[in-house]
Amino acid sequence: MSLVTFVQLIIQGLNMGLIYALAALGISLIWNATSLFNFSQGDLLTIGGYVMLTAFSYLALPYPVAFLITVVVMGVAGYMLSKGYFYPMFKQNFNPQIILIGTVALSIFVRNGILLTWGPDAQTYANPFGSKAVEILGVNIMPHYIWNVVIVAVLVVALQMFLRGTVIGIAMRAVAQKPVAASLMGVKVEQMVSMTFLLSTGLAAISGLLVAPIIPLIPEMGGLLAIKAFAAVLIGGLGSFAGALVGGVIIGIAEVLFATLVVSTYKDVFIFAVLILFLLIRPGGIFKADISEKV
């Protein structure tokens, strides 16, 4: 395989990997704050894409406006989800497994709700970053590859700054690490948990709207992406920021390389096998999240 081909594949893998990474990040955020593994993250990502479709395509709003609306709508939805549904269950000491099943139920609900509302056909919208590739030294680079990297980088940096630099951010981290102490210090635990949900669904929305021009939206998309996101977050290290990013990129690239070098049809089996191996040998993942490192 030529170097050019190799580089091309790496870029493709990186592109998808970033999408997985964003989803993984959302899962880690909620996990840190609540010890809840959100099985519906993939479907929230999908509905984010559909909301953007409605705003950008159906209502023909300008891209930045539609972007903002999508993120706000999804963020608020996440906040309400926490306030009205999940937080009360945490507060009442529900069996964690039951809450976990709740996220599965949510996943089914969102997926079928999308089917009912937007229909089963694959839908997409024009890539706002342009649809012509640029060729650099034999490697084809679509504008959105660069844009996606930029957006994700900005997001990650902004998130870190928010969580470490602002009062709310610090409060959220406090709640994640030591909820009792935090509440004794006057932090409104409920609000912080809900803020975490808001961030998580906001992230899901962004990954969803970045994905839609690349991979047409179908109601089942949540399921397909979710499993890869789960693999990313578990291999990278559940609860770890760096882990989500690294895990996502690893999965994205490994997928493409395996598909090319070995056989494409078993690439998912390969990813799952790697996942199971990690779970058996090193369930903490690559970046076994340290308490001090928690988001």
Partner 1 sequence: MGKAFGFFKKNILLIIVLLLALVPVAGVPSYQFYIIERGLQNAIIVLSLVILLGYTGLLSLGHAGLLAVGAYTFGILTVTYGINPWIALMVAPVVAAALGALLGIPSFKLSGPFLVVTTIAFGEIVRILILNWEKLTGGPYGLGGIKSVIPSAKGMYYFLLVLVFLVSVATMRLSKSRIGLAFKAIKEDEVAAEVMGVNVRRYKLLAFTISSFMAGLSGALFACLTNYLNPDSFTFAESATYLLMVVLGGMANVVGAVASALGVTALPEVLRFMVRSRMVVYSLVLLLVIRYSKSLNMKTLRKVLGKPEGSTLGGGE
Partner 2 sequence: MHEELLSYKRGSECLLNQKGGKRVLKKKSVVLLLLVTMIAMVLAGCSGGEKAGGDKQAGGDEQVLRIAHLAPLTGSAASYGVQIVQAAKMAVEEINEAGGFTGPNGETIKIEYTEIDETSNSASAIDAARKAVSLDPHAMLGPNRSGGVLAAHSVWQEAKIPTITDGTSQDTTRQGNPYTFRMQISSEYWMPILVKTAVEKYDVKKPAVIYGLNDYSKANWVATEATMPEYELEPVSVQTYNDGDQDFSAQLIAIRDSGADAIFVYGYTPECGKIIRQRTELGMGDVLVFTERASTDPAAVELAGAENFEEVVTSTTLSPGDPDPKVQAFVKKFEEKYNQTISGTHVNHYDSVYILKSIVEKVGLDREKIREELANLKDYEGALAVYGSDEEGNLVHHMATQVFRNGKWELIMKEEYDY
Return residues touching partner 2 (CB under 8 A).
1-2, 5, 8-9, 12, 16, 35, 93-97, 115, 119-122, 124, 126, 131, 133, 135, 140, 142, 214-216, 218, 220-221, 224, 255-256, 259-260, 264-265, 267-268, 283-284
Which of 102, 128, 239, 252 contacts partner 1 by CB under 8 A?
102
Q: Binds 90, which of partner 2, partner 1, none (CB < 5 to 8 A, cut-off by type)?
A: partner 1
Residue closer to partner 2 by CB (options 35, 117) is 35
Contact pick of 198, 234, 246, 253 for partner 1 (by CB under 8 A): 234
Cβ proximity to partner 2, 93 vs 292, nearer residue: 93
Shortest separation between residue 273's beta carbon and partner 1, angstroms: 7
Task: Please name every residue paired with 139 in a beta bridge, in sequence order, or none if there are none.
Answer: 136
What is the per-residue binding string for partner 1 in 209-228, x denoting contact by CB under 8 A?
-----------x--x---x-
What is the distance between the alpha carbons of residues 24 and 155, in angstroms, rounded to a whole number? Answer: 14
DSSP per-residue codes, 123-153: B----TT-S--EEETTEEE-HHHHHHHHHHH
Residue 208: CB minimum distance to partner 1, A? 19
Nearest to 207 by CA among 44, 98, 79: 44
Residue 141 CA, chain-centre distance (Å), reads 23
Cα distance between residue 221 and residue 282, in whole Å: 29
Q: Least distance (Å) from partner 1 to the CB of residue 114?
A: 10
Helices 63-80 and 41-52 pack at an angle, to 10 degrees, of 140
Judged by CB under 8 A, the chain residues 104 through 133 that form the site for partner 1 are 104-109, 112-113, 116
Q: Between 33 and 72, how does the x/- string for binding to partner 1 read (CB under 8 A)?
A: xxx-x-x---------------------------------
Helix (H) and strand (E) counts in the chain: 12, 2
CB 75, min distance to partner 1, A: 20
Q: Is 214 helix (H, G, I), strand (E, B) or coil?
A: coil
- State in angstroms the smallest separation of the CB of 91 from partner 1: 4
| Residue 272 near partner 1 by CB under 8 A | yes
* Least distance to partner 1, CB of residue 16, Å: 18
Task: Tell me which residue has tokens 């920021």.
Answer: 241
70-86: b or e for each residue (b if 16 or more CB lie within 10 Å)?
bbebbbebbbebbbeeb
Residue 234 near residue 50 (C-beta atoms within 8 A): no
With both helix axes pointing from N to C terminus, report the angle between 267-281 and 241-261 in degrees, rounded to the nearest 10. 140
> Site for partner 1 (CB under 8 A): how many residues?
55
Residue 163, H or E segment: helix 143-165
| Contact residues: partner 1, CB under 8 A | 33-35, 37, 39, 85, 87-94, 96-102, 104-109, 112-113, 116, 175, 179-180, 182-183, 189, 193, 220, 223, 227, 230-231, 234, 238, 265-266, 268-269, 272-273, 275-276, 279-280, 283
